[in-house]
Amino acid sequence: DVKVTQSSRYLVKRTGEKVFLECVQDMDHENMFWYRQDPGLGLRLIYFSYDVKMKEKGDIPEGYSVSREKKERFSLILESASTNQTSMYLCASRRGQGNGYTFGSGTRLTVV
Amino acid sequence: AQSVTQLDSHVSVSEGTPVLLRCNYSSSYSPSLFWYVQHPNKGLQLLLKYTSAATLVKGINGFEAEFKKSETSFHLTKPSAHMSDAAEYFCVVSPPGSARQLTFGSGTQLTVLP
């Protein structure tokens, strides 16, 4: 089975801190995605990457950046955390077009 | 452009009774459609997907969904609810032939009463 692993299950950070959320997949998938999940809003795409060093903005990229230096790892960076970035963050990967997505278990980030 | 609307934010059923979770979509092309389930403190799990083959799609745990193009709907059903079905369910649309993202509905919380 494909595994998508998010390094932290829960994180508490202070306003203004730089935050790194890490995601690793073990099946050589080309595409990787970062979503945030908020009640009543479903999942919204922050950024995605279709190859190493490639990235594209999703629907809500403001306040975030990403890094994909290796195929298996896709990092989400909050340059200066704010309280409105308190959310559940989900990473996903898939092999390519037409294939299913595999999601990680999520990181619940609280910014105080 | 594409969008998806889950018509109920909460659904309650009694154990052993049928489940119906409603989803309507809007798309300017023939989309792929998915249902995902998320149990408390767990990641999203794919229940089933429609990708322009059979219109009635069977998924895991006894769930199925029917793609109705004329109604732009993709409702999720199960004949008999089980306590373990209590979770949040997301209807998802994706453009075909694209590496781009999924568009998620806002979710339906399913409660199963004993």
Q: Number of CB pairs < 8 Å for A and B?
A: 53
**CA distances (Å), origin A51, targets A23, A26, A28, A96, B70:** 15, 15, 10, 10, 37
Q: How confident is the model at residue A98 (pLDDT cuts 50, 70, 90)?
A: low
- CB of A103 closer than 8 Å to CB of A90: yes
Q: Looking at the predicted structure, is the pLDDT value of residue B50 above 90?
A: no
> What pLDDT, on the 0 to 100 scale, is given for residue A42?
81
Place of tokens 């209807």: B91
The secondary structure of A32-61 as a DSSP string is EEEEEEETTTEEEEEEEESSTT--EE-S--
Q: Looking at the predicted structure, is the pLDDT value of residue B30 above 80?
A: no
- CB of B48 closer than 8 Å to CB of B29: no
Q: What percent of chain B has pLDDT over 70?
A: 94
Cα–Cα nearest to A101, from A8, A25, A36, A6: A25
Q: Return the SS3 of A76.
A: strand
Residue-wise pLDDT for A12-71, tens only, equals: 999 999 999 999 999 888 889 999 988 878 888 899 998 899 999 988 999 999 999 999
Q: Looking at the predicted structure, is the pLDDT value of residue B99 above 50?
A: no
Cα–chain center distance at A101: 14
How many Å apart are CA A80 and CA A101, to the nearest integer?
A: 29
Structure tokens at B90: 């997301």
Q: Looking at the predicted structure, is the pLDDT value of residue B98 above 70?
A: no
Ranked by mean pLDDT, the top range of A22-31, B16-25, B93-102 is: B16-25
Q: Which residues of A touch B9 (CB under 8 A)?
A: 40
More confident residue, B93 or B63: B63
CA dihedral A95, A99, A100, A101 (to 10 degrees): 30
Q: Looking at the predicted structure, is the pLDDT value of residue B96 above 50?
A: yes
**Sign of the C-alpha dihedral, residues B7, B102, B43, A6?**
negative
Instruction: Determine the distance in angstroms separating the CA of B13 from the nearest CA of chain A, rounded to an integer.
Output: 21
> What pLDDT, on the 0 to 100 scale, is given for residue A2?
60
- CB of B33 closer than 8 Å to CB of B44: no
Q: Looking at the predicted structure, is the pLDDT value of residue B76 above 80?
A: yes
Instruction: Determine the distance in angstroms separating the CA of A107 from the nearest CA of chain B, rounded to an integer.
Output: 10
How many Å apart are CA A108 and CA A12, to the nearest integer?
A: 8
CB contact under 8 A, A101 and B51: no
For chain B, what is the mean pLDDT?
88
Residue-wise pLDDT for B52-66, tens only, equals: 778 899 999 999 999
> What pLDDT, on the 0 to 100 scale, is given for residue A99?
64
Q: How confident is the model at residue A89 (pLDDT cuts 50, 70, 90)?
A: very high
Residue-wise pLDDT for A73-84, tens only, equals: 999 999 999 999
